[in-house]
Structure 1
Amino acid sequence: MIVDAPPAPARRRAPVGTVLCWVAAAPTAAWATVRLVGLDRGPLVQALAFTPYVAGWSVLALALTLALRRWWPAAVAALAAVALLGVVVPRALAQPQPAVTGPTIRLLTANLLAGAADASTLVELVRRHRVDVLTVQEFTPDAQAALDRAGLDRLLPYRQLNAQDGTPGSGLYSRWPIGEVGVRDNRGGWGFSQAYGTLAVPGGPPVRVESAHPSAPYALDQVGAWRADLVAQPPATPGGGLRILAGDFNSTLDHGPLRALLRTGYVDAADATGTGLTGTWGPYDGDLIPPVTIDHVLIDRRIAADDVAVFDLPGSDHRPVLATLRLPAA
């Protein structure tokens, strides 16, 4: 009698689909944890600037896990997507504004890349959009002269300027008189300065405006200086005068120190108007680095933000930000 040999045990196939799903879901879950807990330390500081892009990827990761019916990875991917989209999507949605009846201010801020930005383009933006207040960073003596040659001295005759060679300089220009002027020197990184003054706005209360420029976390040994400069930024004064900080913060809304500054009583004007995902820093020289939003106009929460627009500025790696604001009545 011939007895059939027992069948050879089936070879266990590698769960390729499961591995693929975990590879897609796990990084988004880790990123969401870092963002929600506020673990912006070391190399994570630079990485967190790209959170909006990871939020988009989280949707794709969730779709993949659902398509392959891998339920545990799908659950993790769903939690990560909800968390990331929850902090990113509101920036694209306009928020209710305070009901104020005071004058309108059109404020433009621009980083001039060590004075290399095209002065005529910037002055044309001021002229075309009837800008009332301009804050500039990386402001040099050559840039100051070029702006005046292009006619800025006639458009915005009042000023508090701290032009310096290289990147430390800053400036504040205004259509209206400026009082209580000064310059704040940041201690970290390149020692960026911040010109400030109090505007006498016709029909409105006095407004303290400062050209903000904390240190950049461009290297690991600069992260401490970056954090220190952000912590040292002047807080809002909800029980006192109105403040506006406008400039290159070298931070996005996904960085904890900037969010802490907002909690003192500021509102990000772009976030408030639903334009908070518009990139303001490239670089735009062909590098495969997507734009991120590090230039901001932070306004006292008693000020209404009507509109925010972003423009190109030849010669600079930043894009100017124009905020149309309404003040409380005087």
Structure 2
Amino acid sequence: MRRRLDALIGTLLVLLVVVGASRWVDTTWRPVVVLQSLGPFVVVGLGLLTVGTVLLRRWWMLLPVLACAAVAWGMALPTFFAHTGSGEPNLTVMAANLDQGRANADQVMAAVRAHDVDVLVLTEATPDVIGRLDAAGLARLLGNRAGQARPGTFTGTMIFSRLPMTAVPEPSDAAPAHTPSLQPEVDLTVDGRPVRVKAAHPVAPLPGATDQWRAGLAALEHWKQGVPAGERLVLTGDFNASFGHPGFRALASGLVDAQRAAGLGWVRTWPVVGQRWPPFVALDHVLSRGLSVIDAGQVAFHGSDHFLVWAQYALD
């Protein structure tokens, strides 16, 4: 019996270490890409394994289990501590994946009103859902718009704003083959100061599309590097990637993730699939530079497999 317990603990530890270590492997091999989404389970699993090892009094296994747990929890704990600013907020940004137009328009607009949103980024936008949103008050509240809604596809993306904004033309060296979805960007004026806002929606790492997914993240990183260092920017949407993916960490480097800045810990925005299981990974993000995060969060709404995300900023 003791040998079986030792073998079970050792096997579980090896499995958790393999999943955790996958976050440092920058690959497009889909099994690894999927494993990289499971990082939070490694932290929880190592915590439970530590408790189980103590209760079972398998003392010789406790040291390696504790060492791995300490590394995992040391990486996770900082995300539970807020480092937000204290200024007066003057910009609120929200992003929602509308799941090919199936989203409940009234609930999206209720969230827009509740958080007094200035800029709304909508991915997987179709003409039908934009019509329903306009009927629910979108056109009145956020009268400026850029981008395009497309019927029956994942590729429609739009930006709405109550603030003055100007659409930024797509650069001539853009690579739409990497990201068929529209990713519009606009220049805003917030209290007389400019802010660049870009929508993000690289393709999902589905079978046969992982190379395209990785290239889409790299294209967004290239875009970030092309924005002058002193310019304020917000990059938000459904990234189809989490901090467990090296490509997303490279993209987010030098930017502030609003949910992390707010100390929200294990943020989960996908998948929302009825009552069968809860969401477990954050694919939707609000990233920024040159702005101070005051607050952030996510909201569930019917008709989509994503939570929407929002962030409140004060301009530095």
Same fold (TM over 0.5): yes
Output aligned runs, 1:201-240, within 5 Å: 201-203=190-192, 205-219=193-207, 221-233=208-220, 234-235=223-224, 237=227, 239-240=229-230
Structure 2 vs 1, CA of residues 194 and 215 (structure 1 numbering), >3 Å: closer, same or farther?
Answer: same
Cα distance in 1 between the residues matched to 2:242 and 2:133: 29
Q: Which residue, out of 136, 142, 161, partners 2:147?
A: 161
Cα distance in 2 between the residues matched to 1:290 and 1:155: 30
* 1:65 aligned partner: 53
* 1:295 aligned partner: 284
Q: Once the two structures are superposed, what CA deviation does each residue of 1:41-68 show, in whole Å capped at 9, x if it has no partner? A: 4212122212112210111112223333
Q: TM-score, normalised by structure 2?
A: 0.90
Structure 2 vs 1, CA of residues 38 and 87 (structure 1 numbering), >3 Å: closer, same or farther?
Answer: farther
Cα distance in 2 between the residues matched to 1:96 and 1:118: 31
Residue 205 of structure 2 aligns with an amino acid whose one-letter code is: P
Cα distance in 1 between the residues matched to 2:17 and 2:133: 48
Larger radius of gyration: 1
Structure 2 vs 1, CA of residues 76 and 14 (structure 1 numbering), >3 Å: closer, same or farther?
Answer: closer
Task: Name which of structure 1's ranges 285-294 and 273-282 shifts more when overlaid on structure 2.
Answer: 285-294
Structure 1, unmatched stretches of 5+, are 1-12
Cα distance in 2 between the residues matched to 1:283 and 1:102: 33
Residue 269 of structure 2 aligns with an amino acid whose one-letter code is: T
**SS of 1:298 mapped into structure 2:** strand
Structure 2 vs 1, CA of residues 296 and 159 (structure 1 numbering), >3 Å: closer, same or farther?
Answer: same
Cα distance in 1 between the residues matched to 2:121 and 2:203: 17
Aligned length: 309
- Residues 25 and 74, structure 1, Cα contact 8 Å, conserved in 2: no
* 2:109 aligned partner: 123
Shift of 1:225: 1.0
Q: Which residue, out of 231, 256, 261, partners 2:246?
A: 256
Residue 162 of structure 1 aligns with an amino acid whose one-letter code is: Q
* 2:119 aligned partner: 133
Cα distance in 1 between the residues matched to 2:285 and 2:142: 21
Output aligned runs, 1:304-319, within 5 Å: 304-319=292-307
Structure 2 vs 1, CA of residues 39 and 80 (structure 1 numbering), >3 Å: closer, same or farther?
Answer: farther
- 2:49 is the alignment partner of 1:85: no
RMSD: 2.2
* 2:266 aligned partner: 277
* 1:22 aligned partner: 10
Structure 2 vs 1, CA of residues 127 and 33 (structure 1 numbering), >3 Å: closer, same or farther?
Answer: closer
* 1:268 aligned partner: 257
- Residues 19 and 35, structure 2, Cα contact 8 Å, conserved in 1: no
Q: Once the two structures are superposed, what CA deviation does each residue of 1:2-42 show, in whole Å capped at 9, x if it has no partner? A: xxxxxxxxxxx872222122122221222232224556742
Structure 2 vs 1, CA of residues 33 and 129 (structure 1 numbering), >3 Å: closer, same or farther?
Answer: closer
Structure 2 vs 1, CA of residues 77 and 38 (structure 1 numbering), >3 Å: closer, same or farther?
Answer: farther
- 2:154 is the alignment partner of 1:171: no
Cα distance in 2 between the residues matched to 1:44 and 1:287: 24
Cα distance in 1 between the residues matched to 2:17 and 2:78: 20
Cα distance in 1 between the residues matched to 2:213 and 2:132: 30
Residue 262 of structure 1 aligns with an amino acid whose one-letter code is: A
Output aligned runs, 1:41-120, within 5 Å: 41-95=29-83, 97=85, 104-120=90-106
Cα distance in 2 between the residues matched to 1:323 and 1:164: 26
Structure 2 vs 1, CA of residues 225 and 256 (structure 1 numbering), >3 Å: closer, same or farther?
Answer: same
- Residues 123 and 156, structure 2, Cα contact 8 Å, conserved in 1: yes
Q: Percent identity?
A: 33
Q: TM-score, normalised by structure 1?
A: 0.86
